[in-house]
A and B are shown apart, each in its own frame.
Chain A
Amino acid sequence: DAGVIQSPRHEVTEMGQEVTLRCKPISGHDYLFWYRQTMMRGLELLIYFNNNVPIDDSGMPEDRFSAKMPNASFSTLKIQPSEPRDSAVYFCASSLGGNNGYTFGSGTRLTVV
């Protein structure tokens, strides 16, 4: 298994532009999580899905952020419009649930200038 695959690895965009981050979870994992790493807050949960259904999106900072999981093998996190304070590393993780650990992707480093 190739693990959790995120793309792109790096994204530099101008303020106001739309940004889409992508994630392919491990096949068979029922849970998918989007985290953001910042200096101030460490690893911060944005949203998670179970069987493609969003369960908890209370961590999504504001309406500019949205996430979808159209099928079991793909999820997107979209920021529109992007702002410089959105600059961070965004991680996707998947899990079988229960007492299984999370497998993280390599992350997307987003820079908004």
Chain B
Amino acid sequence: ILNVEQSPQSLHVQEGDSTNFTCSFPSSNFYALHWYRWETAKSPEALFVMTLNGDEKKKGRISATLNTKEGYSYLYIKGSQPEDSATYLCAPRVTSGSRLTFGEGTQLTVNP
């Protein structure tokens, strides 16, 4: 079982603030890192799949970076909006199989 840590556990920001949070994972046998967005009462939705060290992905106001050598990824949200309120999950994958191991997530609340 992979040790995946996400921090902070929860975060409250004001509308318009930019924010970021961290996913840490074992750097050995790295294959890919997935980010998911999970709104309350819905199911997780894929945001990004990242594979290369130094990778940066962007989707609208959300972006993510990846450092496979030190085993971390950052997710950034620029100009947070209330609709960004959700739990953001990261999930690394190792070479041995197709399973993802999900972190416990960062719960983001954006106050209007």
Contact = CB atoms under 8 A, between A and B. Distances in A.
Given A56-B99, A104-B43, A105-B43, A99 B104 contact: no
Interface residues of A, number: 22
The 5 A-B pairs with the shortest beta carbon distances in the complex, nearest first, are A101-B46, A104-B43, A43-B102, A42-B104, A104-B44
A25 B107 CA distance: 28
Contacts of B43: 91, 104-107
Interface of A: 31, 33, 35, 42-43, 45, 48, 50, 55-56, 91, 95, 97, 99-107
Interface SS majority for chain B: loop
B97 interface: yes
Looking at B46, B98, B105, the one whose CB has the most chain A CB atoms below 10 A away is B98
A48 to B, nearest CB: 6
A99 B49 contact: yes
Given A42-B105, A43-B89, A107-B43, A101 B99 contact: no
